[in-house]
Amino acid sequence: MYKPSTKNAWVGRTDSLDGAQGVRWHQAIQFLNLSEPIPGVEQGEVAFAFLGFCSDEGVNRNMGRVGAATGPAALRSAMASFAHHLPQHVHLFDAGDVICTNQHLEEAQEQLGRKVALLLKHGYRPLVLGGGHEIAYGHYLGLERAVAGKTLGILNFDAHFDLRNYAQQPSSGTPFLQIADRSHAHGDALKYKVIGLQEYGNTRILFQTADRLRVDYTFAEDVQPHNLPQLTAQLNRFLDAVDKVYITVDLDVFAAGYAPGVSAVNALGLQPEVVLALLKTVAKSGKLLSIDIAELNPALDIDNRTAKLGAAILYQVVSSWSKAQ
């Protein structure tokens, strides 16, 4: 099911005495109804489109703690009061929500793919709000046409490979094996890199699958501030080998103190500053195609800490990406 968004999803502080110099994101946001014809982005303009994926069916199938379906609403709420510092040619749009109903995950993923493809076709830069990590397969379905004949790089900030077998049924733990199999079946080139991997969170068969697929991965213990020059060099080599990049940020990659509101809390996860530095490198590269934020579970959050982290990541990505050609 698809539902357009409204102003009710963007409620925040208003500094009425400051006029145009006090504008915040909720005052600048515009709305797209993807069930109707949408305008194309004019030359010289930059348009970001937030698209929600309200689903935790994949988490449920993966025996995780459900609640991620309300993640998109929590991210919008956390972004609403952001101060607006974007130049006049950069615009923010809310493109509504794809909603998984009656456990029909595959149907919702197909619909998400169609909506992402529509946004890309009209020149928008998609920022997809999750939802469980099953968001990744639906998101990829929308990227296929845009990357046909090109090498797509998938950069996953995650404690897990999410390469589980999906013979019984897909879940939040299977999207990247699904993507790999689909891309190979279509003869498409694909490179998959995971940053923040936890050895204790991935079984031996997952490492074997990753090796078979030639997945590039960096353990969480190596993603440290003092290693940032080396990490950036590794990332640049990855960028040099691809034409376009899709970023997916699973919030369980972060340490529990930063991100308690996830299905699989990570005691030894990453610090946000390191991840932000790497995200900015990709955003400024000119190769970024789209990004999503996954696994926010507001029901498990503390003081909206995880929602605010996901929102802050999106703010920094929008700021950096808006400057890329």
What pLDDT is stored for residue 324 in this prediction?
81
56 touches 68 (CB < 8 A) = yes
Mean pLDDT of the chain: 97
CA-based radius of gyration for the chain:
18
Mean pLDDT of 153-168: 98
Mapping DSSP to helix (H, G, I), strand (E, B) and coil, where does residue 38 land? Answer: coil
Task: Indicate the residue type of 48.
Answer: F
User: What's the start-to-end Cα distance of the chain, in Å?
Assistant: 34
Closest CA to 155 of 176, 172, 178, 135: 176
Mean pLDDT of 239-243: 97
Distance CA 85, CA 70 (A): 28
What's the fold here for domain 2-321? Arginase; Chain A (3.40.800)
The model's pLDDT over 4-52, given as tens digits with 9 standing for 90+, comes to: 999 999 999 999 888 888 999 999 999 999 999 999 999 999 999 999 9
Mean pLDDT of 62-83: 97
- Write b or e for each residue in 280-308: b if 16 or more Cβ atoms lie within 10 A of its Cβ, otherwise e: bbbbebebbbbbbbbbbbbebbeeebbbb
Q: Which residues contact 18 (CB under 8 A, 6 or more apart)?
A: none
Percent residues over pLDDT 90 in the chain: 95
